[in-house]
Structure 1
Amino acid sequence: MIRVLITQVILFLLPFLLYAGYLFLTQKLNRQAWIDAPRYWLIVTGLVFTLAGFLIMSQINNNSPGGTYVPAHFDNGVVVPGEFKRAE
C-alpha cells in the first residue's frame, strides 16, 4: 500500500519538479517566478498524472477479481510468500 501512495505522490509532484527544473535551467530562481507560477495548471496536471497512474496500476495488476489471498506462511521451515489464488 505504501508503494501505491508514494507512487501517486511522486506523480502529483512531478509537474512542480519539472517547473522547478525549468526555472533552474533558465536561471529564474527568484521569488517572483514562484509567485507568478501557473499553479492552477501545475495542480491540474498533477491530478491528471495521478489519475493516469491509478488507471495504469489497475490495468497492470494481474489479480483476478474473484481470487482469494493466501497470506505468507511457513511450510517445512521455509517462508512461503503471500499470493492470490485464482478463482476456478
Structure 2
Amino acid sequence: MLRLVLQEILLFSLPFLAFAAWLLFARRSPLDHAAWKPQWTRLVLAGLFVVIASLVMTGLTGQRTKDGYEPPRYENGRLVPGHFR
C-alpha cells in the first residue's frame, strides 16, 4: 500500500520536477519564488491530471480475476481466514 501512495506522490510531483528542469535549462534559478508563483495553479492541475490519468489507466488495464475474495467466516465454530479463490 505504501508503494502505491509513494507512486502517486511521485506522479503528482512530475510537473513540478519538469518545471524546475525547464528553469535550469533556461538558466534561471529554480529557487526563485517569482518564477514559481504564477505557475502554481497550472502545476497543481497538471499533477492532478497525471494522477487521475494513471488511476484510470490502472483501472482499465489492471489484471482481472474471475474468482473474487472470500472474506473470513466461521464454519463449525472455527474461523476460516479470508482468501482469494
Distance 1:65 1:44 in 2: 36
Distance 2:6 2:17 in 1: 15
Higher helix share: 2
Partner in structure 2 of residue 4 of structure 1:
4
- 2:24 is equivalent to residue 24 of structure 1: yes
Q: Choose 1 or 2 for highest CA Rg.
A: 2
Q: Which runs of 4+ in 1 moved over 4 A?
A: none
TM-score normalised by L of structure 2:
0.69
What percentage of residue pairs aligned between the two structures are identical? 25
SS at match of 1:38: helix
TM-score normalised by L of structure 1:
0.67
RMSD over aligned CA atoms reads 2.2
Deviation at 1:66, TM superposition (A): 5.0
Deviation at 1:53, TM superposition (A): 0.9
- Count of paired positions: 71
Bigger drift between 55-64 and 40-49 goes to 55-64
